[in-house]
Amino acid sequence: MSSTLELTGDLMDIASYPQWVVDVVGRTSELKNEVLDHPIFALMQEGRLSQEQAHAFLLNGWPVVEQFPQYMAMNLTKLSWGRSEGQDMARRFLTRNLRVEQNHANYWVDWAAGHGLTKEDLLADKQTPEALALSHWCWRSSHGDSLAVGMAATNYAIEGVTGEWAGFVCSTDDYANGFEESTRKSSMRWLHMHAKYDDTHPWEALQIVTALLGRHPASRDVYAIERAVGMSYRYFKLSLDECF
């Protein structure tokens, strides 16, 4: 199916998408805002995050960051070349971004080091079950759900909301100024990489989901996308709550 059939305007304008996509984004917006409005990000942006909270955030977020290339690889195995334009778009997207995501894991290690955490600390598996719920959900969806649902849960929902909260944190220099000048650049690299306001990755994922399902998908397929996006936001918030 041609992606141009599905989009009537700019990639990053929700009005360009079919009505069912607009409705899914609208119905999950409240859950998304619960992530964006979480007090952990306000504290971070204002440079008031305690060392204990920073450690909890970095430890709890590590499994998803470390496993994100694996989520993409699992979705890649669902593809067959030439079956549809949506599948070919997904293949290009996933293969292009796999190495990028691996680099992001290295940048997270540098961020953690800025708060005094070592790589060994990240690998010590000390997260609570609640903190691990998001990574378990992303793994389950990427492994067991359809390509459209798996990409909606991870590349659209998780990557999209992360770009927005990272942009919020980086909107002032207060958090960055809390790091020693000698390590500030490396400590902030992960955040700066995700805070690009022109980042098209989540929108490209949404375009792929649209191309895979078409303009008038079955109601059960729409429900599956909406549920996956909502679950990603719910589990994300649960992991953030564990920082307190």
Residue 84 is predicted with a pLDDT of 81
How many angstroms separate the CA atoms of 177 and 187, rounded?
11
What is residue 12's three-state secondary structure? coil
- With a CB cutoff of 8 Å and minimum separation 6, the contacts of 212 are 1, 84, 86, 87, 90, 147, 148
pTM: 0.94
Residue 82 is predicted with a pLDDT of 63
One-character DSSP codes across 46-70: TT---HHHHHHHHHHHHHHHHHHHH
Q: Which residue segments constitute the domains of the chain, with CATH numbers given?
A: 3-241 (1.20.910.10)
List the chain pLDDT tens, one digit each, 244 residues: 444 455 889 999 999 999 999 999 999 999 999 999 999 999 999 999 999 999 999 999 999 999 999 999 999 999 987 678 889 999 999 999 888 888 899 999 999 999 999 999 999 988 999 999 999 999 999 999 999 999 999 999 999 999 999 999 999 999 999 999 999 999 999 999 999 755 899 999 999 999 999 999 999 999 999 999 999 999 999 999 999 9
Structure tokens at 225: 């996308």
Structure tokens at 175: 């958090």
Residue 29 is predicted with a pLDDT of 98
Q: Answer for the pair 215, 22: CB distance below 8 angstroms, yes or no.
A: no
Q: Answer for the pair 91, 79: CB distance below 8 angstroms, yes or no.
A: yes
What is residue 89's three-state secondary structure? helix
Q: Answer for the pair 53, 175: CB distance below 8 angstroms, yes or no.
A: no
Residue 199 is predicted with a pLDDT of 84
Residue with the two structure tokens 């399902």 = 213
Residue 216 is predicted with a pLDDT of 94
Which stretches does DSSP call E strand in 44-110? none
Residue with the two structure tokens 């290295």 = 106
Residue with the two structure tokens 């999209």 = 160
Kindly report the number of other CB atoms within 10 A of residue 103's CB atom: 13
